[in-house]
Amino acid sequence: MQQVLVLNASYEPLNVTTVRRAHVLVFKGKAEVIEELDQALRSATTTFPWPHVIRLVQYVRVPRTVQRKISRRALFARDDWRCVYCGSAGGRLTLDHVVPKSRGGESVWENVVTSCAPCNLRKGNRLPHEVSMELHKKPRAPA
């Protein structure tokens, strides 16, 4: 079935929907057709434009996904206070970027792990597989 792009009142893309749903929004006055296809929607008595892009009349606020900030305490707790490379629980724990910042790695939950100081020093600014190190736990954002 044909998909219709739904734009916010500010012309930001929101979603794609079915032609039927788009037509209902236009018919109820909640949206307007911005771009239509050459063919038409036909009912028993009337012909309507076949919407390809519609714009909502009223602005719809889109909530931002709030991601928890990375702190050492939260990171260490996520990784059970253990080094993800060797599994040791004792010693000095550090924050390590799986893909180093020098290689374009970002400081996001999916790229930072808990590492003991010796493992972090051994890895340096290389990728884990380059120094024969393996992650025992895949990094993820906390729930």
- Three-state secondary structure readout of 9-71: CCCCEEEEEEHHHHHHHHHCCCEEEEEEEEEEEECCCCEEEEEEEEEECCCCCCCCCCCCCCC
Structural domain that includes position 80: 72-131
The span from the CA of 46 to the CA of 43, in Å, is: 5
Q: In terms of domains, do 85 and 125 share one?
A: yes
Q: Report yes or no on 95 lying in a domain.
A: yes
Q: Report yes or no on 142 lying in a domain.
A: no
What's the confidence (pLDDT) of residue 99? 96
Q: Report yes or no on 139 lying in a domain.
A: no
Q: In terms of domains, do 125 and 91 share one?
A: yes
Q: Report yes or no on 111 lying in a domain.
A: yes
Q: Report yes or no on 61 lying in a domain.
A: no
Q: Report yes or no on 102 lying in a domain.
A: yes
In angstroms, the Cα distances linking 78 to 98, 101, 113, 142 are: 15, 21, 9, 7
What's the confidence (pLDDT) of residue 97? 96
Q: In terms of domains, do 52 and 80 share one?
A: no
DSSP state of 128: G
Higher pLDDT, 29 or 68: 29
Q: In terms of domains, do 11 and 48 share one?
A: yes
In angstroms, the Cα distances linking 68 to 71, 75, 105, 138, 140 are: 9, 11, 18, 18, 12
Q: In CATH, what number is assigned to the domain containing residue 97?
A: 1.10.30.50
Percent pLDDT > 90 in the chain is 76
Q: Report yes or no on 63 lying in a domain.
A: no
Span 108-130, average pLDDT:
95
Percent pLDDT > 70 in the chain is 97
Q: How many domains does the chain have?
A: 2
The span from the CA of 134 to the CA of 116, in Å, is: 14
